[in-house]
Structure 1
Amino acid sequence: MKRVQYDRHGGPEKMYFGDFDLPPVGDGEVRVSVRAAAVNPLDWKLRQGAMKLFTGRRFPKGMGTDFAGIVEAVGGKVTDLKVGDEVFGTVDFRKSGAFAETVLVDAGQVARKPSQLSFAEAASLPIAAMTAWVAIIDKARPRSGTRIFINGCNGAVGAFAVQLAISHGAHISGACGPASRASAAAVGVGRIFGYADRQAYAQYGKYDAVFDTLGTLDIGHGLSMLNPKGVFVDINPTPGRLIRGMLSRRYKLAFATMGIKHLPAIAELAGRGTLRPTIGLEAPFTDALSVIADAETGSRSSPGKAVLAFEGAGQAASIARR
């Protein structure tokens, strides 16, 4: 099969379409024919080598984590999925490889695709929605009347965070870019600030939670925006922040991997329309290299997820000619 892979860490120029054979399906695994795969910042950060201590030195490495598709085969110990099921999920970041015609994944990292969603919409859910779930539901713990500030309230994670928080009765304020103000207001963000308006963030009283999706909010400033029992939630770990997260009760780190167990609940909410993915670009798998590079360098400015669409068997020959 064809997949996007790389032979050494580095920039977009290291990516290429390569041939790869999947190993046999393990007892607890499923093999999925990919119909759509969403592009996440994690994908190019892994290729750049940001987490090479965890991913190891064996090459070539595949790219891509989030996908949706149809189950082709199931392992002997998989009892809740069968061949033909439409599913979505995420590949362990230490393996990656979702930018491919077929993917092998642990059965615990997939869930049935809601029938109301397209494959592209379902592929846009896993990392962003799992991260938002951990940050909002597990860490911020919203209830009716909770006041939450979200820095980056209209990004992929931020938008899901807004939707989850509002579904629990929270009141949302947030910061976003000028072009995103209208869409942020449309999903329910009450007070919207520009990123430079940091002195105005706390004008309307203290918050019960501050969620920084971008890593651009100074921790001290974020903590100063909280009421005495409030929490600052961050998804941008550095060595110093990791240590602080272990020592502080008011500063919490959230990771997508903490939310894999919530995939079925995410599927249910998406099926009901509580979580609404936004597709900014849907492009054929044959354009994967340019789509990933554009997302990485910021050349693509449309809001929403960039998604690679897989049309089936005829595609491999087209890729091979490139």
Structure 2
Amino acid sequence: MKKIIYNQYGGVDVLHSVEVNKPIPDTQQILVKVKAVSINPIDWKILMGEVKLMSGKKFPKSIGCDFSGTIESTGTGIQKFKAGDDVFGVTNPFKDGVLAEYIVVNEKEIAKKPADLSFEQAAAIPTVGQTALQMLTNSLKGKEILINGASAGVGMFAIQIAKSQGAIVTAVSSGKGQHLLKKWGSDYVIDYNKEKVTDLKKKFDVIIELSAKLPFSQAKKLMKPESTYFTVTPSLWNFAHSFLNNIVSKKKHEVILMKSDTEKLNRLANDTLNGFDIHISKTYPMSDYKEAYKTVIKEGALGKVVFNIPS
């Protein structure tokens, strides 16, 4: 079977395709024939060595964490799934990647894919959807929420989750993403090329920073006296600052590391079936892995970019 791996940290050119044996599940594992894989920023942060403390020095490594597919076989200890079930889920990106024709996964990493959800849609959900859910767990009715860098995957779900709970959403992106911010339900949209976020006069209950361009030091002046700033950038500085800041301040600084579970995957799938939009801006065959990653790293993505894996 084909699998995309790399033997050293670096740019996209260190990725290459290899032929390896199909993995064999142990008693507590599931063998999945992969149908689709979506791209997430964590893919290239690990690839480029930006999070070596978590990803380690052991090679080869493979890439990708969000997938959908069909179960080919299960270990004898698996009770909730069987061969032939269509599933989707996310693996630990620091352990083993999913951009391959077959993968083995654990029962807790997956959920059954609804028949009315395409494999591409399902693969686009896990990391970004669950990240958004972790940030938006409290009652949001009437709350003012700012989402900076809102036109990619996390923003796509964050806007729709917030609106479904009655929040008032201000979303920020480049001009090319404005139509999606409106489609997803934003009350106010800002083109950062025309208006500086830091010039806003409004105060917010929640700020979700997805662009790495609005640090907490600048966001504080946009926050209400009791409010929360979320970032998805897992730097040592962010972890240290959030810990110290949150001891003394009611303007909280939270660093989100996505934690997956089947319940959240099922909820997000149901939300999608009930009207949440999943915008897939482009699909690539697995063979175009270098072009896909180079394009997304350079240009970003509206919504999600997904690989189709050949049968």
Give the CA deviation at 1:247: 2.8
| Letter of the 2:290 counterpart | L
1:6-45 alignment, distance < 5 Å:
6-45=6-45
Q: Distance in 1 between matches of 2:309 and 2:161?
A: 30
**CA separation of 1:75 and 1:247: change in aligned 2, threshold 3 A:** farther
Q: Distance in 1 between matches of 2:232 and 2:301?
A: 23
Q: Distance in 1 between matches of 2:159 and 2:297?
A: 24
Q: Is the 8 A contact 1:5 1:63 kept in 2?
A: yes
**CA separation of 1:307 and 1:82: change in aligned 2, threshold 3 A:** same
Q: Is the 8 A contact 2:90 2:260 kept in 1?
A: no
Give the CA deviation at 1:155: 1.5
| Letter of the 1:42 counterpart | I
Residue ranges of structure 1 left out of the alignment (5+ in a row): 313-322
- For each residue in 1:111-167, what CA deviation from the matched residue of structure 2 results, as whole angstroms up to 9, or x when unmatched? 111222110111011111111111122xxx242211111101222111110000011
- Identity rate of aligned residues, in percent? 26
The answer to whether structure 1 residue 216 and structure 2 residue 213 are counterparts is: yes
The RMSD of aligned alpha carbons is: 1.8
SS of 2:178 mapped into structure 1: helix
**CA separation of 1:53 and 1:102: change in aligned 2, threshold 3 A:** same
SS of 2:259 mapped into structure 1: helix
Q: Is the 8 A contact 2:31 2:73 kept in 1?
A: yes
Match of 1:265 in 2: 267
1:280-299 alignment, distance < 5 Å:
280-298=281-299
Match of 2:249 in 1: none
- For each residue in 1:88-129, what CA deviation from the matched residue of structure 2 results, as whole angstroms up to 9, or x when unmatched? 111211223211000111211111112221101110111111
Match of 2:308 in 1: 309
Q: After superposing the two structures, state which structure 1 stretch, 79-88 or 44-53, moved more.
A: 44-53
Q: Is the 8 A contact 1:72 1:84 kept in 2?
A: yes
Q: Is the 8 A contact 1:121 1:277 kept in 2?
A: yes
**CA separation of 1:46 and 1:213: change in aligned 2, threshold 3 A:** same
Match of 1:198 in 2: 197
Alignment length (residue pairs):
304
Q: Distance in 2 between matches of 1:95 and 1:54?
A: 10
Match of 1:113 in 2: 113
SS of 2:136 mapped into structure 1: helix
Match of 2:100 in 1: 100
Residue ranges of structure 2 left out of the alignment (5+ in a row): 247-251
The answer to whether structure 1 residue 150 and structure 2 residue 147 are counterparts is: yes
The answer to whether structure 1 residue 177 and structure 2 residue 179 are counterparts is: no
Q: Is the 8 A contact 1:78 1:107 kept in 2?
A: yes
Q: Distance in 1 between matches of 2:298 and 2:190?
A: 25
- For each residue in 1:175-201, what CA deviation from the matched residue of structure 2 results, as whole angstroms up to 9, or x when unmatched? 111111122122211112232512432
**CA separation of 1:259 and 1:211: change in aligned 2, threshold 3 A:** farther
Correspondence for 1:163 among 140, 160, 164: 160
Give the CA deviation at 1:260: 6.6
Q: Is the 8 A contact 1:33 1:71 kept in 2?
A: yes
Correspondence for 2:225 among 220, 228, 232: 228
| Letter of the 2:188 counterpart | R
Give the CA deviation at 1:307: 1.0
Q: After superposing the two structures, state which structure 1 stretch, 222-231 or 166-175, moved more.
A: 222-231
- For each residue in 1:260-299, what CA deviation from the matched residue of structure 2 results, as whole angstroms up to 9, or x when unmatched? 75222222222222x321111112112222212221232x
**CA separation of 1:26 and 1:208: change in aligned 2, threshold 3 A:** same
Match of 1:188 in 2: 185
**CA separation of 1:146 and 1:263: change in aligned 2, threshold 3 A:** same
Q: Distance in 2 between matches of 1:27 and 1:98?
A: 20
Q: Is the 8 A contact 1:210 1:226 kept in 2?
A: yes
Q: Distance in 1 between matches of 2:176 and 2:298?
A: 19
**CA separation of 1:238 and 1:56: change in aligned 2, threshold 3 A:** closer
| Letter of the 1:149 counterpart | L
Q: Is the 8 A contact 1:112 1:267 kept in 2?
A: no
Q: Distance in 2 between matches of 1:270 and 1:182?
A: 19
Q: Is the 8 A contact 2:198 2:222 kept in 1?
A: no
Q: Is the 8 A contact 1:142 1:165 kept in 2?
A: no
SS of 2:135 mapped into structure 1: helix
SS of 1:78 mapped into structure 2: coil
Give the CA deviation at 1:77: 2.4
